[in-house]
């Protein structure tokens, strides 16, 4: 059971590391990402925070997965 949960955590982390950076590239290129003077808009800031949180969750998933495997 622990092995299955650890694998699920690793899959979650991989998914987050694959998907979110690509999404950020698209958000960053979006016309709503910056105002006329080139400053980041709330659109970009909110997405950057959400993506950052998702990547943090991915890191935590890897760490917990490793701890679970080490303890099994």
pLDDT for the residue numbered 2:
93
pLDDT for the residue numbered 12:
97
Q: What is the pTM of this model?
A: 0.88
pLDDT for the residue numbered 35:
97
Averaged pLDDT in 10-residue chunks for the chain of 72 residues: 95 97 97 97 98 98 96 80
pLDDT for the residue numbered 14:
98
User: Whole-angstrom Cα distance, residue 59 to residue 14?
Assistant: 10
User: Whole-angstrom Cα distance, residue 18 to residue 4?
Assistant: 21
């Amino acid at each position: 059971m622990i092995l299955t949960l650890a694998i699920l955590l690793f899959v979650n982390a991989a998914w987050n590391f694959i998907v979110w950076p690509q999404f950020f590239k698209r958000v960053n290129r979006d016309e709503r990402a910056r105002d006329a003077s080139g400053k980041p808009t709330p659109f970009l800031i909110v997405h950057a925070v959400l993506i950052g949180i998702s990547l943090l969750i991915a890191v935590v998933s890897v760490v917990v997965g490793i701890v679970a495997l080490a303890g099994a």
